[in-house]
Amino acid sequence: MVRHWYSNLKQEAYSKWHRRFDGIAMIDVDSVEVCPHCTQPLAFIELAKDVGQKFKAYTLTKKLADKFSVPGFVLFYRLSAKEEITNFRVQRISPAVRMVKNSIKPDEWLDFLLQLQTDHQPKCLVKEIESYDFDKWQGTDPE
């Protein structure tokens, strides 16, 4: 049985191919904010163009955020006539589901994303490795 496509957005080739088969399922992951050094996930985000809708499915996004103990969001974005993002609506879905902001500007969302990076820095394993003084290492060299 072919699964139906419920969006007016263009299907990617893999998604189109995948929908042809019974017994398998997939959900695309829209956005994973990561540390640029260690690629540790910092937040999972389900994206939707804001057309006034009240809901966007987010089951997998929430499960991933919960699994990694990071925030999860549904981010509705509005576009200008020039196709530039002008505004966001932000719904937090992990750890708890609640509306965070009904209207924030792109700069405010950017500030939040930068704060995720700042909060992660003390825990970043790659930065710890990069700052480690290997000349002081007392281990034995492999032969």
Give domain status of residue 8, yes or no: no
- pLDDT at residue 19, as a whole number: 85
Is the CB of residue 38 less than 8 Å from the CB of residue 126?
Answer: yes
Is position 117 within any domain?
yes
Q: Is residue 91 a part of any domain in this protein?
A: yes
In a domain, 4, yes or no: no
Indicate whether 137 belongs to any domain.
no
Give the domain extent around 71.
Answer: 13-130
Q: pTM for this one? A: 0.81
pLDDT tens column, 57-113: 999 999 999 999 999 999 999 999 999 999 999 999 999 999 889 999 999 999 999
Closest CA to 63 of 40, 22, 29: 29
143 in any annotated domain = no
**Is residue 135 included in any domain, yes or no?**
no
Are the C-beta atoms of 41 and 34 separated by less than 8 Å? Answer: yes
Burial class (CB in 10 A: 0-12, 13-18, 19+), 136: exposed
Residue 138 counted as domain residue? no
- Distances, alpha carbon 46 to alpha carbons 6, 33, 36, 65, 93, in Å: 17, 11, 20, 11, 10
Q: Give pLDDT, residue 1.
A: 42
Report the number of distinct structural domains present in the chain.
1
Average pLDDT value over all residues in the chain: 86
